[in-house]
Structure 1
């Protein structure tokens, strides 16, 4: 003990005792954990067979719901999207929501709030404090989660038809915000398709319907916005309207493969039964090509001079 500081012996004993007590406590914790694990296993094994089967079934159901994708269909107004969407809705066990865009502000005015008692997103935007796009997106996803769950439980495949016109064809410029596909894919497995039509025909229809909601109100500007839309959906399969009306069964079969939907060969007999929003075009129950609206010289010259149209045609193969 020579040279040892006063009290160091007692401190050494205390340290040794503390080490022993800590090791004993650790041993007790390990024994408790082992016992708890054994009890948990025993408890699961002792579940009544029917209850155990229910637990397994619930787990399988949850995995199935998570794996079942939401399908999204994207197109500009007046491009035949309503017709194609009706045909998609004619496939077995599908549920189509038409013209979806939770971040759309088309038609909203600060000075004249609109009556919308069942539209929670619009109510929030028009509230006395307003609502951020993030909150509106969160509300949409929460609602979509419920809809998806109920659809899957009912054996239905959920399809969302985009209202891309709100995003790309309204206002002074294309807003830098999430697309419908961005929102859906942030929470769900997603399968998507884009449908297009020769921009000359869709632009003429827009004019005829009074739906030129963008500025400048020119054909070249329309094509520029069309290109922005296609850039945002780069990598998504594209279906051309002209190909569809020429070979409805073949193209619809291809579309069902893209969206992993079962194919109904009788869809042409039943598609016209469906009533959905945006149904401003054809009233016939026959799928066939339509004659282009007549062009005056000024409009024809505008189309010919559009550099954006030439670029768009090279992308779409027109």
Structure 2
């Protein structure tokens, strides 16, 4: 397979398709081809960056652990430069390595523009170092901040900040809204108002509107067939794939790991639905629109 200066994102994706048809290629050879292609893209245009988006309690941590377990793949977990929930301006805490939080503590009038510039430069540096050492960087974006918090902007903030400097490959994982809402409620993470099921589904619709249907991955499909779906994710994000992730994903340590634990990936039963909640489901206009768009029964 010849690598040349005409490479673009479509060419890199084609490498993975070709890999499917050439079992003789080891994943080490595949990784080398992807790395060379990325460097070619960087030489003639913008470097590639990968983003995974998901709302809280939609299985994102589990899926991210599996991606992180792919060969030479590294995830920066729960990225969002403008998130405010963890920053207490009234009583600043000790963050000696967190330059962005320290900028927020200064409260200078231009701090948001400065934070965006610092974040962009940091991602450039990390991505370049990872690529130069044969690795592949994935940003796990904290989309909960953009869509399900008091500071929601209803847009992909991180993508907007990075799009001028990178060619962005992005995916979003989704889960049936009944299950994700009940998990949010159980965890005390209904960080929006009103904290109703209808409002949640309205915000969920705004989230999926940022993606093409081909960029959406169902959590339910993943737990039914983790190998096939992880392979598909790897192909769409131009990452090396090897089934060995199944035996190592549980070793990944990522922030936001509040859900299932253990070595087994399998569907779990839905929580019991109270009559009052069933009525909310029936009366929610946004819910019916959402499940239709996501093709849920």
TM range (shorter): 0.7 to 0.9
**1:118 corresponds to:** 97
Aligned to 1:45: none
Q: Match of 1:92? A: 71
State whether structure 2 residue 137 is matched by structure 1 residue 137: no
Matching residue of 1:311: 289
- Change over 3 Å in CA distance of 1:105–1:233 after alignment to 2: farther
Taking CA–CA contacts closer than 8 Å with sequence separation of 6 or more, which of the two structures ends up with the larger relative contact order? Answer: 2
> CA separation of 1:245/1:176 partners in 2, compared to 1, >3 Å: closer, same or farther?
closer
Question: Could you tell me how far apart the structure 1 residues matched to 2:112 and 2:268 are?
Answer: 39
Verify: 1:217 aligned to 2:157, yes or no: no
Asked if the contact 2:172–2:217 (Cα under 8 Å) also holds between the matched residues in 1, the reply is: yes
Q: Which runs of 5+ in 1 are unaligned?
A: 1-59
Question: Is the contact between residue 52 and residue 138 of structure 2 (CA under 8 Å) also seen in structure 1?
Answer: yes
TM-score, scaled relative to structure 1? 0.76
Q: Residues of 1 paired with 2:142 and 2:248: CA distance? A: 24
Contact 1:192–1:236, Cα closer than 8 Å, also in 2? no
1:95–1:158 CA contact under 8 A, matched in 2? yes
After TM superposition, the runs of 4+ consecutive aligned structure 1 residues lying more than 6 A away are: none
What SS does the aligned partner of 2:106 have? coil
CA contact (8 A) 2:74 2:137 kept: yes
Q: CA deviation at 1:266?
A: 1.7
Structure 2 residues not aligned, in runs of 5+: 1-38
Partner of 2:145: 166
Query: Does the 8 Å contact 2:69/2:245 carry over to 1?
Result: yes
Question: Are positions 1:298 and 2:276 aligned together?
Answer: yes
Q: TM-score normalised to the size of structure 2?
A: 0.81
Please identify the structure whose Cα radius of gyration is greater: 1
CA contact (8 A) 2:197 2:280 kept: yes
* Residue 266 (str. 1) matches residue 244 (str. 2): yes
Q: Any idea what the Cα deviations from partners look like across 1:216-236, whole Å, max 9, x if unmatched?
A: 010110111111111223466
Shift of 1:115: 2.9
State whether residues 73 and 194 of structure 1, in contact with CA within 8 Å, keep that contact through their aligned partners in structure 2: yes
Aligned length: 258
Match of 1:30 in 2: none
- The answer as to whether partners of 2:227 and 2:243 remain within 8 angstroms in 1 is yes
- 1:286 and 2:271 correspond: no
In structure 2, distance between residues paired with 1:66 and 1:146:
17
Match of 2:85 among 106, 114, 117: 106
CA contact (8 A) 1:70 1:189 kept: yes
| Residue 91 of structure 1: how far off its partner (Å) | 1.0
Name the counterpart of 1:25: none
Deviation at 1:86, TM superposition (A): 0.7
Distance 1:218 1:298 in 2: 12
Q: Deviations over 1:146-203 (max 9, x none)?
A: 10111111111010001111111111x7326652222222211221111100011111
Structure in which a larger fraction of residues adopt helix: 1
